[in-house]
A and B are shown apart, each in its own frame.
Chain A
C-alpha cells in the first residue's frame, strides 16, 4: 500500500505540471548538459569513478589526514618550523611521556576513570533500557524515550554547569542534606573524582541507553515467558536470557561511552580538582603555551588514541568470544 502511494507520487512529480519539471526538462534537453552526462555515464566504470572520486579524496584528506599529520608532527622536534631551522625526526616526545609521573599518572587515571564511569553508566542505564523495551507498550515507547532525549540535545558545557549547581557546597544536594539534619556541614562533593563521575555519567548515559534499548527491543518476549513458565526466577531469566542476547548492545554502548569519556576536556576542568587531572588537560597544556610544545602534545595525543583503540578492540574481542562460546 505504502509503496503504491509513493510510486504514484513519484510519477506525478516526473510528469507534473508545476515549475520544476520545466526546469529539469529544459536542462535535459540542453545540448552541453546532454553531452556532458553522456560522456560521464558512457560506461559503468566511468560513472563509478566520477561518483567515487570525491568521497575517496574527502575521506583520505579530511578524515585520515588530520590523524596522520598529528602522528607525523609527533615524530618531529619542532612544529611549526621556524624559518631557517631544520626539522629533525625524533622519538624524544614519546620518551618524554615515560620519563615523568606528571605525564603518565594522568594517563592511567584517565583510562581507569573512563573504565569505571563506563561501567557505572552501564549499571544505571541497563534497567532503564530494559524497562523501555519490555514494560512499555509499543505506542508509548517513543514518548518515554523522547522524554530522555530532550536533555541530550543540551550541550556539554550547559549540562556540566547544571551538575556544578547540583553538587556545590550551597547546591541542591547539600541543601536537602542539611535541612533534614543528615549532615552538620555541607559535604564537599565538588572538585573530586565523585563530582567528575556524576558529570561524565550524566553526559554519556544516552550513548549507552540507545544501543542497549535497540538490542533489548529485538529480544522476543516469548523467551522470557517460556523461561518463567519453566520456573526460572527474575535473576536467572536476566542472567541466562537477556544478558547473553544483548551482549552486542552492551559491547557497542560501552565502546562508545569509553571513547567519549576519554575525550572530555571541559568537564574534568570544571568539575575535577588538582587530584583528578586527566590526560586531556595534560595534552591541552602543550597547546596553550608556546608553539614549540606542539610535537609533545601530538605525541601524547597519539599515545592516548592508540591506547583507547587497543582497549576497545580488546574489549570487543572478549565480548564476541563471550557471545560465541556460551555453552550454558
Chain B
C-alpha cells in the first residue's frame, strides 16, 4: 500500500502545481483588472503609484452607466422568463416519451446553443428584420430567449428524469387531472432546477455581447457599452464599470450554486 502511495506521489505533486497554476491563470487577469480601477491616473498600465476611489464614485453618478445597468438587467429578466417557460414545456415533452421525430426535435432544440456566436447573431438579425422586429430591446430579449432555451431544456430534463413516476400516479389516483398533477407534483419537484436554469439564463443574457451588439438599437447593454468605450481608449473608468459587473455576476452565480445545491440535497 505504501509503495503505491509512493508511486503516485510524483504525479500528485506535478498535478497539484498545474492546478494552482491554472487557478492563477484564471484569476490573475481579473485581479489586475480590478486593481486598475483604483488607479489615480487616466493612463492604464503598471506600476500603480497612487490609489483613488473616484472612478467608482464617478460611475455611480453617471446616469448613462446606471441606466445601462438597468437596461441590461431588464433584458436579462424578460428573456429568462420566456426561456424558462418554453424550456420547461419542451423538456416535459421530450423527457421519458417515445415518439417519431423525437431525436430530430431534440437536435433542433439544442441547435441555438451550437451555432457559433457571430452566425447566430446575424441569423437573428436577418430573421428579426423579416419578422418586422426593430433593433432594440424587443429584438435583444427575443434573441437571448431563443438562444437560452436549450440550456433550460437540458437542466429541466436532467431533473425530470429523477422524478418518481409513482408520485404522479398517486396524484392521478387521488383524482387530480393531468394539469393539476403537473402543477402540484411535477412543478414543486422542478423548483431547484428552474431556479438554477433561471440564474444561468440571467447570467448568459447579462454577459452576452454579440447578439446584443447586432440586435441593439441606440441604447447599449452593459457589455456593448464597455466595448464601445474600449474602442475609444482604455481608462480606469472602464475598469470600475467592469468590476461592478464582475462582482454582480460572480455573487449571483455563487449564491445560485449554493442555493441549488442545498435544494437538491433536501429533495
Contacts and interface: CB of A to CB of B under 8 A. Distances in A.
A152 B207 CA distance: 11
Interface stretch (A5-13, A88-96, A243-251, A320-328): A5-13
A164 B207 contact: no
Given A28-B176, A69-B126, A155-B223, A304 B116 contact: yes
A260 B252 CA distance: 24
A301 B117 CA distance: 11
B157 interface: no
A202 B25 contact: yes
Contacts of A58: 86, 89-90, 149
Interface in A32-86: 34, 37-38, 41, 47-48, 51-52, 54-56, 58-60, 62-67, 69-70, 73, 79-80
A25 B145 CA distance: 34
Contacts of B19: 127-128, 131-132, 144
Given A157-B227, A165-B36, A225 B4 contact: yes
B218 interface: no
A25 to B, nearest CB: 9
B44 A168 contact: yes
B226 A158 contact: yes
A9 B170 CA distance: 13
A43 B87 CA distance: 25
Interface in B14-35: 14-16, 18-19, 22-23, 25-30, 32-33
Secondary structure class of chain A's binding surface, majority of residues? helix
A27 B209 contact: no
A265 B105 contact: no
A238 B261 CA distance: 33
A134 B14 CA distance: 13
Contacts of B53: none
Contacts of B45: 168-171
Contacts of B180: 24, 27-28
Interface in B249-267: 249-250, 252-254, 257, 261, 267
A47 B30 contact: no
A273 interface: no
B102 to A, nearest CB: 10
A207 B206 CA distance: 19
Nearest to B104: A59
Contact of A13 (B30, B114, B184): B184
Contact of B242 (A125, A158, A280, A304): A158
Contacts of A37: 177-179
Interface in B115-144: 115-127, 129-130
A291 B179 CA distance: 48
Nearest to A278: B118
B96 interface: no
Contacts of B207: 153-158
B135 to A, nearest CB: 11
Contacts of B99: 48, 52
B209 A13 contact: no
B43 to A, nearest CB: 8
A183 interface: no
10 closest residue pairs by CB, A with B = A263-B116, A170-B45, A155-B207, A263-B117, A153-B253, A162-B29, A131-B15, A66-B127, A66-B123, A280-B118
24 contacts: A6-B164, A14-B185, A24-B184, A64-B111, A66-B124, A66-B127, A127-B18, A142-B261, A148-B22, A150-B250, A153-B249, A154-B30, A154-B245, A154-B249, A155-B207, A156-B209, A158-B207, A158-B226, A159-B29, A161-B239, A205-B26, A259-B116, A265-B209, A284-B118
Given A62-B146, A128-B19, A162-B30, 18 more contacts: A10-B188, A48-B99, A51-B89, A55-B89, A66-B124, A67-B123, A69-B127, A128-B18, A128-B22, A152-B253, A157-B226, A158-B245, A162-B242, A164-B230, A259-B116, A265-B117, A283-B118, A284-B122
